[in-house]
Every structure is written in structure tokens, then in C-alpha cells.
């Protein structure tokens, strides 16, 4: 799934896969995702975390999702390309995985406003019914706005997780002109995308990125 053309900080390949992508087009598995907010430097081995970063050209890194939000970041630190892929479900989002990812970048010398960034297809507010405790946890986020949740048709709240991540991103100084997000609901797109909520127990799509 193509990311809209936005200014890129260096040559890179990035995107979000769909059911139409052959397995041969996918990056190797390097993560065992645990719904936390830890980020690690990518290597050849599989690591337990929810985010990967790399400065190695040619090393494709990615996360697998089926309703959670895949987040991709690309910027330059000390003259060298830097890329990251994050897995952001509601737990990771509320726990601050995007903040952690940006902190790794700035900790190495990057400036948030220079990052190109993209949130990928995920379950959107139209279908993301949650318990009140989830909204209560999200409401403690410094970037929270009340329009990010609203009662759904069954009376339970629907959460705009994409919107919360975007609010966090802008709060952290990311540039809206460098936002390549693809705002598509996984639940609403059964032909193209896997959705755990809709009943896909095993299928996943990738958000991935490679420094070229």
C-alpha cells in the first residue's frame, strides 16, 4: 500500500503490505511483539520488543499487525540515515512507544521536526470499540483530546487510536508536512487487510522500512 509522496530525508523504501503482497516481498521476522513499549536496535536475531531501529543500509525492518497501528519513522542523525518501525496497539500507545521511539532518535542527535513519519492501516474509530478502562488509560495521555473517543452504536466507547498517535506525534514536534500516514480501517477492508477483530486469528500485514 503506497505511502503518499512526502519529502524524504534520504533514499528509502517503506510501506504497508496488504493481502495482495506475496510472502517473498516481506522482510525477515526480527521481532517477537509483546504489547510493550521497548525499542531495540535491529539485528539478525529475533528479539522481544515492540519497536526496531536501524542505521544499516539494506536492512529491512518491520512490524506485523492486524488492527494495531504500524508506525514508521525516518530521519538523519549525525549525517547518517536512521529508520524505525513500531507496533502500537492501545497498550503500547498509552505506554508511550511513539515517545520512546522519538526519544531514541533525539538521543542519538536527531531533531523531531526532521522525521518523515507514517501511521499505517489499523482499526479506526468506526470499529474500535473498547472498554471504559481503555479510554480512562488513554485520557491520562498528555496529548489526549476528548474528541478521540465517542460512544458507539452499542453504547460502548470507540477509541481513535490513530488520532491519539497523531496527536502524540504533533505534541512531540513531528512535522505535519512530513506525515505520510495511510488512514484506512482494517475492519472495513476485508479484501485487502487482515483484522483480528473481524476474525482473522493468524493473518498479519507488515509495516516496514529499509534504508537504501
Q: Which residues bind Zn ion (CB under 5 A)?
A: 126-127, 185, 187-188
- Report the residue number, 68 or 185, with the smaller CB distance to Zn ion: 185
Using an 8 Å Cβ cutoff, are 66 and 203 in contact? yes
Using an 8 Å Cβ cutoff, are 159 and 149 in contact? yes
Using an 8 Å Cβ cutoff, are 44 and 63 in contact? no
| Least distance (Å) between residue 123 CB and Zn ion | 7
Which residue minimizes CB distance to Zn ion?
185
- Report the residue number, 109 or 203, with the smaller CB distance to Zn ion: 203
- Report the residue number, 115 or 193, with the smaller CB distance to Zn ion: 193
Using an 8 Å Cβ cutoff, are 120 and 181 in contact? yes
Q: Is the dihedral of CA 46, 50, 52, 58 positive or negative?
A: positive
Place of cell 522481544: 48
- Report the residue number, 50 or 160, with the smaller CB distance to Zn ion: 160
| Least distance (Å) between residue 104 CB and Zn ion | 31
* Beta bridge partner(s), residue 210: 13
| Least distance (Å) between residue 119 CB and Zn ion | 15
| Least distance (Å) between residue 198 CB and Zn ion | 9
Amino acid at each position: 500500500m503506497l505511502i503518499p509522496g512526502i519529502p524524504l530525508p534520504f533514499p528509502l523504501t517503506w510501506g504497508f503490505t496488504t493481502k495482495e503482497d506475496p510472502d517473498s516481498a516481506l522482510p525477515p521476522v526480527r521481532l517477537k511483539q509483546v504489547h510493550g513499549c521497548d525499542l531495540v536496535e535491529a539485528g539478525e536475531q529475533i528479539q522481544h520488543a515492540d519497536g526496531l531501529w536501524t542505521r544499516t543500509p539494506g536492512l529491512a525492518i518491520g512490524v506485523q499487525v492486524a488492527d494495531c497501528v504500524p508506525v514508521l519513522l525516518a530521519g538523519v542523525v549525525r549525517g547518517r540515515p536512521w529508520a524505525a518501525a513500531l507496533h502500537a496497539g492501545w497498550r503500547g500507545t498509552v505506554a508511550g512507544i511513539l515517545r520512546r521511539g522519538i526519544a531514541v532518535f533525539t538521543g542519538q542527535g536527531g531533531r523531531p521536526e526532521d522525521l518523515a513519519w507514517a501511521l499505517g492501516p489499523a482499526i479506526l474509530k468506526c470499529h474500535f470499540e473498547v472498554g471504559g478502562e481503555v479510554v480512562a488509560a488513554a485520557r491520562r495521555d498528555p496529548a489526549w483530546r476528548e474528541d478521540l473517543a465517542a460512544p458507539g452504536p452499542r453504547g460502548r466507547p470507540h477509541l481513535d487510536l490513530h488520532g491519539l498517535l497523531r496527536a502524540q506525534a504533533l505534541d512531540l514536534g513531528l512535522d505535519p508536512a512530513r506525515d505520510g500516514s495511510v488512514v484506512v480501517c482494517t475492519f472495513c477492508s476485508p479484501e485487502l487487510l487482515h483484522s483480528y477483530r473481524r476474525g482473522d486469528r493468524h493473518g498479519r500485514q507488515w509495516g516496514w522500512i529499509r534504508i537504501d
